[in-house]
Homo-oligomer: A and B are copies of this chain.
């Protein structure tokens, strides 16, 4: 095979992939529009549009010619350095191609249909707090997941296949090892904090924060972090998310509540996602290498900004005045340190998305364990609520009053999404590994935060993590950035220190 033939084949492949990238970004615009802007009457037509777009994109990815080009380019790939743009593009495209080719279109369509019906069943079941109404849809989703897993002939556990869609090339065993360690440490830590719950007054974080004043306050906080109107948008939605359709078209949303600061913290969280997703090197633009490499690493970035930066003492020394000026009724007589403690109050609670930094992980571990047991038929579906409630008591010491606030609280299972939850806690763990590496290189991070100078931190993250996009596996990416593969110890150390700082005691 001559060099010029390889170059031509590579150019052909890259051209095809660039169009796939465009289709992916078009889908993101449609999805963003649907959640943020579309009148309700647009729903049916939008479903058709997304269906047509998904079908065209799927056909373009599994096109025989893509397979032929990848085949032809395998020698070329091996002749190039692993970390070169060309080798990475061929490697990642092959991975995407092979995964997409394994699932018969009819099964994908069944899964999509069951997800749509499941979502409807879940909405009704949750509204009536009636798990039994959701059971048939959940059973159907699980059945289809079994058929999905069979497409891949997994070497290890069946759950590996599901996990791989969200945290590529990490095994269930590796996650279990991390989570067992978290559980071992955090269950007693949470019990200790629960005993001194009254030591922190959370009232300062409960408003009232008049909703109409919140957007300007959030923008005032996000702007020094790196938000700017030439490339970013911030809009309100029921469920905050980050999206965008180009390296300099980044769209985040948040939710404004009168009696909580979700508007601020979800805004910072989604800012972290937006910065990572759109921080890929320009040469990766319009290729499958562009964007975040896994949901776990994505969450490491949102949580780094939300918690390690946004719930830190120096951060509120800088920004408390912004909120006090916006909300004098609630915060006029408070100070930055009191506010810092209020936004770090730790307390076991029922709802995952409202949980504090420490208890959050147990919500995730509980779901990870139940998902594996459901997939392995080790628990009967009808027993799922009891299992849920028993573990909530065991891990968090909390009693679940009804299924709406228990097993029915999250949307994921209604859409057939299994294997996603663990990435939330993996992100927490990795965020502190990355944070410690950053602090080794930038010695005066606290001063920079207090001075409102986030450029060095942003630049470090871009250089060490964001620019690589999907070039390497998530764990290779983490290793390049933080110097080690996933390790729960730094995170556990961070949580112990934080609890001690907020509660004024060694916990």
Contacts and interface: CB of A to CB of B under 8 A. Distances in A.
A230 B53 contact: no
Interface residues of A, number: 39
Nearest to A36: B37
Nearest to A233: B39
The binding surface of chain A is classed by DSSP as helix
A476 to B, nearest CB: 27
A26 B25 contact: no
B249 A39 contact: yes
A237 interface: no
A23 B233 CA distance: 25
Contact of A45 (B41, B53, B247): B247
B26 A230 contact: no
Interface string A31-45: 001000111111011
A248 interface: yes
Given A230-B39, A231-B39, A231-B41, A22 B248 contact: no
A284 interface: no
Nearest to A235: B37
Contacts of A42: 231, 245-246, 248-249
A49 interface: yes
How often does this chain occur in the complex, in copies? 2
A19 interface: yes
Nearest to A278: B41
A46 interface: yes
A229 interface: yes
A236 to B, nearest CB: 14
Contacts of A41: 230-231, 246-249
Given A44-B246, A45-B247, A52-B23, A29 B33 contact: yes
Contacts of A249: 38-39, 41-42, 45-46
Closest CB pairs A-B (n = 6)? A45-B246, A41-B248, A42-B249, A41-B231, A22-B52, A22-B49
Given A25-B45, A45-B286, 13 more contacts: A19-B56, A26-B52, A29-B33, A37-B37, A37-B233, A39-B229, A39-B233, A41-B247, A41-B249, A42-B249, A44-B246, A45-B249, A45-B285
24 contacts: A19-B52, A22-B48, A22-B49, A22-B51, A22-B52, A29-B30, A29-B49, A37-B37, A39-B229, A39-B230, A39-B248, A39-B250, A39-B251, A40-B230, A41-B230, A41-B231, A42-B231, A42-B245, A42-B248, A42-B249, A44-B246, A45-B248, A48-B286, A56-B56
